[in-house]
A and B are shown apart, each in its own frame.
Chain A
Amino acid sequence: MIPSIELETKGLPNWCPGCGNYGILTALKQALSELDIPQKDIVLTSGIGCSSKIPHWVRVYAYNGLHGRALPLAEGIRLANNKLTVITCGGDGDGYAEGTAHFIHFSRYNMNIKYFVHDNQVYGLTKGQVSPTSDEGFVTKTTPFGSVEKALNPLIMALSAGATFAARGYAGNVSQLKELMKKAIMHKGSALLDILQPCVTFNHKNTYEWYSKRVYELETPLKTRNEAISKAAEWGEKIPVGVFFDSDEETYEDKLPQLKEKSLIEEEPKTDIKQLLKELK
């Protein structure tokens, strides 16, 4: 339990009034305050975008890095100290365009990192360009005649790359989103939580109304990875929300003998090179 007042920072969010990011911030703060993790052991990394500013408004350790590169930061942090709870936040452009390679490999590594993507299907911070998750035909400043590209499905990508947890949430349903965040955080391994996030300023298609009409809750996770992938393909008139897949597998960190007893940070460095020099004699 962290008293919610402890999670406050000095500033107030400067997102547009009505932005879906407010719901995500509220859910995140509630989730962190309800979980039993010491505040000092929580780290948030983020990239660049409206979404990536979230560390400024929740008081935990944070590293606000480069556009698309928040996951590698998180990986270095986890390997340095595997006692930490490491969460990465960012936008759909950040994670599914600029940082695609990192997203795929993060899923495959199965490191214990939680990836929350504020998916507004548009580029917010740069003022309204098409994104990899924009629906085909979506009109933006860079696609004035409608996007000719197919939308990318992040859940399918994560699942087919090996992520051990994949879920979708909706910024318009804070209590449900909070529960999904808690599940993701408690999961052991790489977890993707793609969050449908209305951008009231630059996405006039995928609005609160549009999402609210379509989302429905998945009762339980699907049993197999393949079933989860098939379910994740559902997008259109109906959009499933909830945990698609949750499997307990050995993590990257579990497999490293160096981390069996202590984390790297807790251990004194082993700097004696006598033996190594002897091998060169």
Chain B
Amino acid sequence: MLVNRLVWKIGGEAGYGIQNAGMTVSKIFKELGLYVFATLEYPSLIRGGHNTFTVRADNDRITSEILPVDILVCLDEATLNLHKDELTKDGAIIYDNALNVKAKKIRKDIRLLPLPILEFSKQYGADFKVMMATFAIGATIKLLGISTQVAEQVITMQLSTKGQDVLNSNFEALNNGYNELKTAAFKIEMKPKKKREDLILIDGNTAIALGAIRSGCKYFSAYPMTPSTSIMEYVAKNQEKHNMIMHQAEDEISAINSCLGASYAGIRSMTATSGGGFALMNEALSLSGSSEMPIVIVLGQRPGPATGLPTRTEQGDLLYAVHGGHGEFPRIVMAPGDVTECFNMTLDAFNMADKYQIPIIILTDKHIAASVETTTEFKSDNYKIDRGELLLKVNTKLRLKEKFKRYAFTKTGVSPRTIPGVSNGMQCSIGDEHDEEGYIIEDAVGRKRMYEKRANKNKGIIKSLNNKCIEVFGNKNAKTAIISWGSNKGIILEALKSLKNCKLIQVKILHPFPGAELAKKVGRSKIIIVEQNGTSQLGQLIKQNTSLKISDYLLKYDGRAFTPEEIINHMRRKK
């Protein structure tokens, strides 16, 4: 009998509350004191289509989904057709008894558990679809030996705002599912442990939004675009309590420009989008560079070109994030590899944006933005908001002999800035080339000097990032190094559990590219690049910035995240 190690998958059309059901199950496992990693796969549709939510639970920390699946819950026939072969030996399928499974050629070892899911749920009229999912959760917990109390407790928390009627019908569905399943013995049993009070269940987007709030960001403006939308929704929900404003702009151009305006007036601002919206923001990204206006931009990638696969995942915009925006100006591109890094990097991003008065791009993708995992509660007690050379406090007075120079030449390239409301601090921030006071200039000497002032900031940026850009995981003495970035981290870490002669080198800062640091960490190891794009954009950056030799690539561009199995298989084949 296996204990506390499980992969559970539910599938159905959009509209069946698949995501909510998945979250309920994730929280039940968390209540039992287990670690969880959960992913949602869905098409860009509101009704119909095929949605799945996969929840993996374990005694120890897990960082990715894995195959095979132990229990498959089919709320429709498509789920059965598409996923029956993902089941482990002696796995189980929970499905509606009206479904004809005879024709499906299901392996003999698999436990078939037909239940009157639809027949029971019909009584709820319009809500029948959602009740089907709750019914199936009831059956699931019975199969795994989990008590209904835990499930009821989780459902109560989740539906706290929905009223007693909704709660009662869900309890009814849950208990019916529980009682209808007659045979409880299964190869896996979930045994409650002590609930860990220091664990949270969170996705990458929420971690970024939390980071923004913790950083004292007060203005957030965006235009909805998957996979970044839930950041704006989270900020919107909490804006009043945290004295922020979330403004849904008429387009991404407005969103980023209004963020620059807010930043000019002295408050921290952030926007979030995906590739298409980032394209619209490019001119203003460049304005941030010229006017030296701090801003933090979240670029949540999804497969392109154009609208691409709106709800799937890819890492095709790395070079775009590095090069986007016309002209040359300093910036930082950072790519978190898990939810904790999403939070911590957001804290750093705001400080670095202020310190160097530059745009910072936090590069994520759908896989990290929307996957949910348990992790240790974020610690930020030592975080200090550093506003850099900002002469804050409205209604104060500057004592200067001459006019304030917004773009004064300094050793570091960073100039003090004032904000409206400060007497004697009057200044013009500007996108045209300018002199120290912000007046438009055209002359060659002045241009060269101002260009170099901005470029000079790179020295400080590189210095503050020194030795913080690369992390090594796994067997440090291994001769083979997988180099990767972003959301692949968790998947590769999972694969490393079976690849003892491999290490992972994670590149966390992608621009300015930490070539020297990477070369040092690689040493004489053999390099294999793992990326979610077809042209190895990280590989291109490595070739541009180091003399390292890349031996092999594992690239994927089908819109789905890697699985640990794919990485393990690739590495084993190589030997």
Contact = CB atoms under 8 A, between A and B. Distances in A.
Interface stretch (A69-77, A172-180, A210-218, A223-231): A69-77
B147 to A, nearest CB: 20
A84 B261 CA distance: 13
A55 B424 CA distance: 16
Contacts of A275: 241
Given A76-B259, A76-B263, A276 B421 contact: no
A256 B245 contact: yes
Contact of A61 (B214, B256, B283, B427): B427
A273 B214 contact: yes
A79 B378 contact: no
Interface string B366-387: 0000000000011010000100
B443 interface: no
Interface residues of A, number: 56
Contacts of A220: none
Given A258-B244, A276-B238, A76 B262 contact: yes
Interface in B268-288: 268-269, 283-284, 287
Contacts of B210: 273, 276-277
A265 B267 contact: yes
B440 A80 contact: no
B287 A66 contact: yes
Given A65-B257, A265-B265, A53 B440 contact: yes
Interface in B178-207: 197, 199-202, 206
A43 B261 CA distance: 11
Nearest to A273: B214
B548 interface: no
Contacts of A80: 218-219, 261-267, 269
Interface string B410-442: 000000000111111111111110000111100
Given A40-B420, A73-B260, A81-B420, A64 B247 contact: no
Contact of B245 (A11, A71, A104, A258): A258
B226 interface: no
B284 A66 contact: yes
Contacts of A267: 243
A63 interface: yes
A41 B420 contact: yes
Contact of A43 (B206, B244, B260, B420): B420
Nearest to A276: B210
B200 A280 contact: yes
A264 B218 contact: yes
B239 A62 contact: no
Nearest to B201: A280
B426 A271 contact: no
A81 to B, nearest CB: 5
Q: Taking each of A59, A63, A66, which has the highest tally of chain B beta carbons within 10 Å of its own beta carbon?
A: A63
Given A56-B439, A65-B291, A73 B431 contact: no
Contacts of B206: 280
Nearest to B217: A269
A275 B377 CA distance: 12
A277 B200 contact: yes
B328 interface: no
B219 A79 contact: yes
B258 A101 contact: no
A102 B201 contact: no
B377 A76 contact: no
A97 to B, nearest CB: 14
Interface in B126-184: none
A280 B158 CA distance: 11
Interface string B214-253: 1111110100000000000000001111111101011101
Contacts of B428: 55-56, 62-64
A190 B144 CA distance: 61
B243 A258 contact: yes
A50 interface: no
Given A76-B221, A269-B385, A273-B213, A264 B260 contact: no
A69 B257 contact: yes
Interface string A77-119: 1111101100000000000000001101100000000000000
B394 interface: yes
Nearest to A264: B218
B240 A258 contact: yes
A76 to B, nearest CB: 3
Given A11-B439, A65-B260, A72-B253, A270 B429 contact: no
A17 interface: no
Contacts of A219: none
Contacts of A76: 219, 221, 257-265, 269
A257 interface: yes
B420 A10 contact: no
Nearest to A56: B439
A81 B257 contact: no
B420 A74 contact: no
A45 B291 CA distance: 13
Contacts of A277: 200, 210, 377-378
Nearest to B218: A264
B254 interface: yes
Interface string B479-511: 000000000000000000000000000000000
Contact of A264 (B267, B284, B431): B267
Contacts of A191: none
B254 A102 contact: yes
A75 B197 contact: no
Given A41-B421, A64-B430, A79-B258, A281 B250 contact: no
A79 B245 contact: yes
A236 to B, nearest CB: 32
A33 interface: no
Contacts of A10: 403, 437, 439
A-B residue pairs, 9 tightest by C-beta: A76-B261, A269-B216, A76-B258, A72-B257, A80-B265, A76-B262, A73-B261, A280-B200, A61-B420
29 contacts: A11-B439, A40-B422, A61-B425, A62-B427, A62-B438, A63-B264, A65-B430, A66-B257, A72-B261, A76-B219, A76-B221, A80-B266, A80-B267, A101-B253, A258-B244, A264-B244, A264-B245, A265-B419, A265-B421, A266-B394, A269-B218, A271-B213, A273-B210, A273-B214, A275-B241, A276-B210, A276-B238, A277-B378, A281-B377
Given A73-B257, A80-B269, A264-B245, 7 more contacts: A10-B437, A76-B221, A77-B420, A84-B265, A105-B249, A264-B267, A275-B241
